[in-house]
């Protein structure tokens, strides 16, 4: 039996889009055969009948919602600055000025009674706005909420120090509709909204945060999303094989992680630009809620769930950022517990292969952490922060050895719990 992770590390040729469409059709056809296949089919159905998810934007929305797209595009050029001020008072004026602009544009363009009526209709009639449209609207509204929350990029400590914030009613009133439709609880964006749903059919960013900046800024922002989205291109066959393995223990060869190492380079992701112009905007840090984390990547969580690598995130933690269909897919794999099933059946070949996959995944994670160290740079205008874990209260995030040792300890604990 060939190893899962050896395939993931192997050389890959991109699958043509028609092959992906055929695979999606096959997965949807298999969906009524067994529970894991049904969860995978539901994941596709709730992702615009596609994987990676297919979002559509303003052109597919009812007219009452289209002004949100217009507002973001008008706000975007005012977000980034080439040089951050170190003067808190000056930054407060800039933050207030940008937020006032957002409020003025929302009041000018958005008519809330029509928005509410439209969202009520869309919630009860799926033909009014297909799921792909909901995904795009989620991306737009989340981007506007993050734009209002930070108001200037790079993120500055004057905004970081805020522990609560009243958002404009035009951004708050529609948000519960999105939360209910997708099954999330976070007040901010997620990897799904900021990456998966924020690309058009040509894989261009729709709601950009480096408008008017250099080509290096634009390229870094684009690859901040593409790294995750294009990995999911290669992961779809993995998911189908995993679903079939749930039924028959048959694990074939598949590939994907090598994409990270091939494209996570200084040309695509400029280290000096990634943290100030991409990572900061992904954060949230209001009322104890964290922001976007690479750990929200579905491939990583799928492999953890399939291989039984614990501890799992809590239901409340996952519900913040992962849409319900994504959580259902992960929980179905967790409930299956294929390693326990292999032990129960006494299938030594499967047990050996699964244990080998766990070891390879652990090695990949250690390598990924070392690759990420060069992106942890000092920025004088901001407090230390990671997008996924909010403000950092000590210096450990800047200590390379501490970061690696923490990861090694965490993985060792998780591996012990899988034995």
Angle at 273 between CA 269 and CA 278, to 5 degrees: 80
Is 415 a residue whose pLDDT tops 50? Answer: no
Q: Please state the rounded mean pLDDT for residues 246-275.
A: 57
| Phi, psi for residue 164 in degrees, rounded to 5 | -150, 160
**Positions at the binding site:** 368
Q: Give yes or no for a contact between 308 and 338, defined as CB atoms under 8 angstroms apart.
A: yes
What is the tens place of the pLDDT at every residue in 77-99?
A: 999 999 999 999 999 999 999 99
Question: What pLDDT was estimated at residue 260?
Answer: 47
d(CA 266, CA 151): 27
Q: pLDDT tier at 66 (50, 70, 90 boundaries)?
A: very high
Which range among 106-120, 305-319, 341-355 shows the weakest confidence by mean pLDDT?
A: 341-355
What's the Rg (C-alpha) of the chain?
A: 22
Q: Please state the rounded mean pLDDT for residues 194-209.
A: 96
Q: How far is CA 59 from CA 49, 65, 184, in A?
A: 18, 10, 25
116 Cβ contact list (under 8 Å, min separation 6) = 173, 174
Confidence (pTM): 0.83
**Positions at the binding site for heme b:** 368
């Amino acid at each position: 039996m060939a190893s899962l992770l050896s395939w993931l590390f192997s050389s890959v040729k991109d699958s043509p889009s028609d092959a992906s469409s055929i695979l999606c059709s096959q997965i949807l056809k298999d969906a009524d055969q067994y529970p894991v296949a049904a969860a995978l089919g539901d994941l596709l159905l709730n992702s615009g009948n596609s994987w990676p998810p297919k979002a559509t934007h303003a052109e597919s929305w009812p007219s009452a919602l289209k002004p949100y797209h217009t507002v973001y595009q008008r706000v975007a050029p005012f977000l980034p600055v080439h040089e951050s001020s170190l003067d808190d008072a000056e930054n407060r004026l800039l933050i207030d000025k940008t937020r006032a602009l957002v409020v003025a544009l929302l009041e000018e363009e958005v008519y809330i009674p029509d928005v509410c009526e439209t969202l009520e209709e869309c919630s009860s009639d799926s033909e009014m706005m297909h799921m792909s449209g909901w995904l795009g609207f989620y991306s737009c509204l989340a981007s506007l909420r993050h734009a209002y929350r930070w108001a200037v990029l790079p993120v500055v400590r004057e905004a970081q120090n805020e522990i609560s914030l009243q958002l404009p009613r035009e951004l708050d009133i529609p948000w519960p509709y999105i939360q209910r439709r997708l099954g999330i609880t976070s007040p901010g964006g997620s990897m799904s909204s900021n990456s998966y749903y924020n690309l058009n059919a040509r894989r261009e960013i729709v709601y950009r945060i480096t408008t008017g900046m250099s080509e290096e800024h634009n390229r870094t922002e684009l690859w901040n999303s593409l790294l995750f989205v294009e990995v999911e291109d290669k992961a779809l066959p993995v998911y189908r094989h995993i679903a079939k393995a749930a039924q028959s223990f048959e694990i074939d060869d598949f590939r994907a992680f090598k994409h990270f190492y091939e494209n996570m380079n200084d040309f695509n992701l400029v280290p000096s630009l990634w943290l100030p112009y991409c990572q900061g905007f992904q954060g949230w840090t209001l009322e104890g809620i964290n922001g976007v984390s690479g750990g929200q990547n579905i491939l990583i969580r799928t492999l953890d769930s399939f291989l039984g690598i614990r501890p799992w995130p809590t239901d409340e933690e996952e519900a913040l950022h992962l849409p319900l269909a994504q959580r259902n897919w992960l929980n179905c794999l967790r409930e299956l517990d294929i390693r326990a099933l292999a032990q129960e059946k006494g299938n030594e070949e499967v047990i050996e292969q699964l244990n080998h996959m766990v070891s390879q995944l652990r090695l990949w994670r250690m390598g990924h952490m070392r690759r990420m160290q060069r992106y942890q740079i000092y920025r004088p205008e901001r407090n230390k922060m990671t997008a996924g874990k909010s403000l950092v209260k000590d210096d450990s995030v800047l200590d390379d050895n501490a970061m690696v040792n923490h990861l090694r300890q965490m993985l060792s604990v998780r591996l012990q719990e899988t034995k």
